[in-house]
């Protein structure tokens, strides 16, 4: 299946709750990859939201320190690997005890060329780590 | 199903190709909602990537003008409606001829409280408009 984009939707459970509330820490670890632009915000009393645009990719996070949970999205195009490096780095940095991911193929070229524009195709990846 | 976040993954097909390459236009139409922070980038020779953080929500876009295609992600939490307003506004602004969406419930509270942390639950929405 040829597609323009490739997205990983990830649930990070069991993370370090203090780190999930530390915007500087999260920002630093999301900026390890080569960044084009970035935006981060720390909410009161707790929680961090942020996004980085990496070439034609993006990495976004929303944290709930009270649950030890972070919602992480990685969107990549073509050969971009720096975003995936950032994704894996972030997982380590937050000390996620359990991660589940879902992959979505975005912008399917075959569908577009056929004029048949359907739903986003999905592939479930059972990469759950304890 | 109680969840912390609610995500809409959308494929915008048949958009106006010139508008998909106009970073100022896209930025302006994504900033109609109440924005906390934002980041946008225009690629050479064509294509726009951008993200806005709206309270605990985000709206992100990647465009391929040559295909008339945009990948749009909307992540919302709780009662945030400004992000959805921005999403619908963007769809109109880009003149999308066909839109397909997928919904993902993120951070399921019931799973967390039971200690059973599974994959992200998904709900496919067949809202395809010609």
Show residues of chain A in contact with B109, CB under 8 Å.
Answer: 67
Question: Which candidate, A117, A46, A51, places its Cα nearest to that of B50?
Answer: A51
- Asked if B126's CB is within 8 angstroms of A119's CB, the reply is yes
Chain A residues with CB inside 8 Å of B101's CB? Answer: 119
Residue/partner pairs of A43-50 with CB below 8 Å, 24 or more apart: A43/B55, A43/B56, A46/A20, A46/A21, A47/A20, A47/A21, A47/B56, A48/A20, A48/A21, A48/A22, A48/A23, A49/B36, A49/B53, A49/B55, A49/B56, A49/B57, A49/B58, A50/A23, A50/A26, A50/B53
Does A102 lie at the interface with B, CB-CB under 8 angstroms?
Answer: yes
Residue of B64, B74, B122 to mutate when probing chain A, most A C-beta within 10 A: B64
A60 lies within 8 A of chain B by CB = yes
Does B42 or A110 have the greater pLDDT score? B42
Residues of B in contact with A119 (CB under 8 A): 11, 100-102, 124, 126, 128
Residues B36-54, mean pLDDT to the nearest whole number: 79
The answer, yes or no, to whether residue A49 has pLDDT greater than 80, is: yes
Q: In the predicted model, what is the mean pLDDT of chain B? A: 75
Residue A126: its pLDDT value, please? 46
pLDDT in tens, B71-119: 888 888 765 566 667 777 888 888 888 888 888 888 877 666 655 555 5
| ipTM score above 0.95 | no
In this predicted structure, which of A58-67, A120-129, B9-18, B76-85 has the lowest mean pLDDT? Answer: A120-129
Tell me if chain A has a CB within 8 Å of the CB of B53: yes
Closest chain A C-alpha to B117 CA, distance in angstroms: 7
DSSP B95-107: T-SEEEEEEEEEE
Residue A71 distance to chain B (closest CA, Å): 7
Which A residues, 32 through 51, put their C-beta within 8 Å of a C-beta on chain B?
36-41, 43, 47, 49-51
pLDDT band for A53, please (50, 70, 90 cuts). confident
Q: How many angstroms separate the CA of residue B35 from the nearest CA in chain A?
A: 11
Beta strands in chain B, from DSSP E residues, in sequence order:
3-13, 37-42, 48-54, 57-64, 69-77, 98-108, 121-129
Question: What pLDDT score does A117 carry?
Answer: 52
Query: Are residues B107 and A9, on separate chains, in Cβ contact within 8 Å?
Result: no
- Higher-pLDDT residue of B122 and B70 is B70
What digits encode the pLDDT tens for the residues A7-39?
878 888 778 888 888 888 888 777 766 566 778
Is A89's pLDDT higher than 70? Answer: yes
The lowest-confidence range among A65-69, B68-72, B99-103 is B99-103
b/e map B45-64, b = 16+ CB within 10 Å: eebbbbbbbbbbbbbbbbbb
Binned at pLDDT 50, 70 and 90, residue A128 comes out as low
Top mean-pLDDT range of A58-62, A104-108, B74-78 = A58-62
For every residue of A56-95, DSSP letters joined together read: TEEEEEEEEGGGTEEEEEEEEETT--HHHHHHHHHHHHTT
Is B31 in CB contact (< 8 Å) with chain A? no
Say yes or no: A121 contacts chain B, CB-CB below 8 A: no
């Amino acid at each position: 299946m040829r597609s323009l984009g490739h997205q990983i939707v990830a649930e990070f459970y069991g993370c370090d709750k203090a780190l999930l509330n530390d915007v500087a820490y999260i920002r630093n670890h999301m900026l390890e990859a080569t960044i084009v632009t970035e935006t981060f915000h720390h909410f009161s009393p707790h929680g961090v939201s942020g996004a980085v645009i990496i070439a034609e990719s993006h990495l976004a996070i929303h944290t709930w320190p009270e649950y030890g949970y972070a919602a992480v999205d990685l969107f990549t195009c073509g050969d971009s690997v720096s975003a995936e490096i950032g994704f894996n780095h972030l997982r380590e940095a937050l000390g996620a005890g359990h991660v589940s991911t879902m992959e979505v193929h975005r912008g399917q070229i075959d569908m577009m060329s056929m004029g048949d524009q359907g739903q986003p195709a999905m592939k479930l990846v059972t990469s759950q780590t304890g």
